[in-house]
Amino acid sequence: MITVIARWVADEGRGEELETLLSQVAVASRAEKGCVSYQPLRHIENGNAFAIYEQYVDEAAFEDHRNSSHFQETVIAKVLPLLNERYVDVYRNI
């Protein structure tokens, strides 16, 4: 099992736009064959800060996610330009 914890910080005032896009990505990601869990979170005090908790059955499923059309068309093309900071940590279960 692969667990991903992504932390995104939107440019000032772009949090609502990011939330909308992230909601779209979540629906498409949850439908992926190898996706176990995809849970986006928005920080209570800083509306521009987000975290995404993701789990995939294996590394191949995670790579499929990253290569998916919804990831490429939404995250790469639309989300990344909104971000001030982006951190992605990938873990394997022990």
Angle at 82 between CA 50 and CA 33, to 5 degrees: 60
Positive or negative, the CA dihedral 21, 22, 28, 34 is positive
User: Which pLDDT value is given to residue 34?
Assistant: 97
Q: Phi-psi category of 35—alpha, beta or left, where left has phi over 0 and alpha has psi -120 to 50?
A: beta
User: Which pLDDT value is given to residue 2?
Assistant: 97
User: Which pLDDT value is given to residue 44?
Assistant: 97
Q: Provide the number of structural domains found in the chain.
A: 1
Q: What is the CATH number of the domain that holds 56?
A: 3.30.70.100
Fill in the DSSP letter of residue 93.
Answer: -
Mean pLDDT, each 10-residue run in order, the chain (94 residues):
98 96 97 98 97 98 97 96 97 94
Only one residue has tokens 């990253």, namely: 66
Residues of the domain holding 78: 2-92
User: Which pLDDT value is given to residue 77?
Assistant: 97
User: Which pLDDT value is given to residue 4?
Assistant: 98
